[in-house]
């Protein structure tokens, strides 16, 4: 028997001037989302400040915090107040000299249901994440909320079918991707449409291949390096928003604009998943006996 559909929300917003302003703004947006009926609210990647990985500067490690810590506590209080679960992205200080790009899932009782540390760490111009983040070592995550079982990956994980597959195999009905992705302004005219289309296409493919919902929450606005000094030159990143939810056949359930603050609401229907997976039984037909070489870097 199919379970009752439930509502998810993605928060898409621009960055404020300070960590406290960003925290307060996102708490308010998440509370508004819950007030609009959201059972699960997902925030964008590293929402407490500008995307600091545009430069390599050791001073920026001061932005990190423990998990649990101030941010998870604030959203735990909000979750308990609203009765909505929260997906919260933050810069985690695990130990002195050891940091992660982390997402915590907070249940409606205010407790941390699970923690995911970003597995795939990029190193591209203005995305110097390998300087800051140790690759995740907790594996892929799916946890039970009061409405359904959800999974979380983070941003660069979006491009990897293995990440989506392993999360889906843990039973995730929705895979949330807190995200910070955008255009290099000097490339936008030539490559902008192609890049954004590829970003949406690969994730919609994950939805089809796994018969589940995919939900990506991205930021908006032009951001430049935070500090003077090493790697501080550059035109910045123009984040392209376009937060979206795709259904289990790859259909676009909801999509935000490229440049507007948005609380994006979408319905997740476990019955729809059941129907799609019965028609497209990809999980049934997997040849698990033939995939040994997937653990190799390249099959020479």
Separation of CA 56 from chain center: 23
Query: How many other C-beta atoms are found inside a 10 Å radius of the C-beta of residue 255?
Result: 18
One DSSP character per residue, 56-87 reads --GGGGGG-B-SSSHHHHHHHHHHHHH--EEE
Two tokens at 284?
Answer: 């049934």
Alpha-carbon span 164 to 153, nearest angstrom:
8
Query: How many other C-beta atoms are found inside a 10 Å radius of the C-beta of residue 205?
Result: 15
Alpha-carbon span 247 to 232, nearest angstrom:
40
Q: Which residues pair with 223 in a beta bridge?
A: 237
Respond yes or no: is residue 155 known to be catalytic.
yes
Query: How many other C-beta atoms are found inside a 10 Å radius of the C-beta of residue 247?
Result: 23
Alpha-carbon span 87 to 238, nearest angstrom:
24
For the range 95-98, what are the long-range contacts, defined as Cβ-Cβ under 8 Å and sequence gap of 24 or more?
98/134
Annotated catalytic residue within 155, 173, 212, 223: 155
Respond yes or no: is residue 118 known to be catalytic.
yes
Annotated catalytic residue within 118, 153, 173, 238: 118
Residues belonging to the active site: 45, 118, 155
């Amino acid at each position: 028997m199919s379970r009752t559909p439930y509502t998810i929300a993605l928060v898409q917003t621009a960055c404020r001037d300070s960590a406290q302003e960003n925290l307060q703004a996102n708490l308010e947006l998440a509370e508004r989302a819950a007030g609009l009926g959201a059972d699960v609210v997902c925030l964008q990647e590293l929402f407490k400040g500008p995307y600091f990985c545009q430069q390599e500067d050791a001073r920026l490690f001061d932005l990190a915090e423990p998990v649990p810590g101030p941010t998870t506590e604030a959203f735990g209080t909000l979750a308990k107040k609203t009765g909505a679960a929260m997906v919260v992205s933050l810069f985690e200080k695990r130990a002195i000299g050891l940091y992660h790009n982390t997402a915590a899932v907070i249940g409606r009782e205010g407790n941390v249901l699970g923690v995911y540390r970003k597995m795939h760490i990029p190193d591209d111009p203005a995305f110097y994440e390998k300087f800051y983040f140790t690759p995740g070592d907790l594996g892929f995550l799916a946890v039970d909320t009061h409405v359904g079982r959800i999974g979380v990956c983070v941003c660069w994980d979006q491009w990897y079918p293995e990440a989506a597959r392993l999360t889906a195999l843990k039973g995730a009905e929705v895979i949330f991707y807190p995200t910070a992705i955008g255009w290099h302004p000097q490339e936008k005219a030539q490559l902008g449409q192609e890049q954004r289309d590829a970003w949406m296409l690969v994730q919609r493919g994950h939805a089809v291949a796994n018969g589940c919902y995919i939900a990506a929450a991205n930021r908006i606005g032009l951001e430049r390096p935070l500090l003077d000094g090493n790697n501080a030159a550059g035109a910045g990143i123009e984040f392209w928003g376009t937060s979206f939810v795709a259904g289990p056949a790859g259909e676009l359930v909801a999509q935000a604009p490229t440049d507007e603050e948005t609380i994006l609401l979408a319905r997740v229907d476990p019955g729809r998943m059941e129907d799609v997976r019965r028609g497209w039984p990809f999980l049934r037909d997997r040849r698990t006996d033939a995939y040994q070489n997937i653990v190799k870097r390249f099959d020479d």
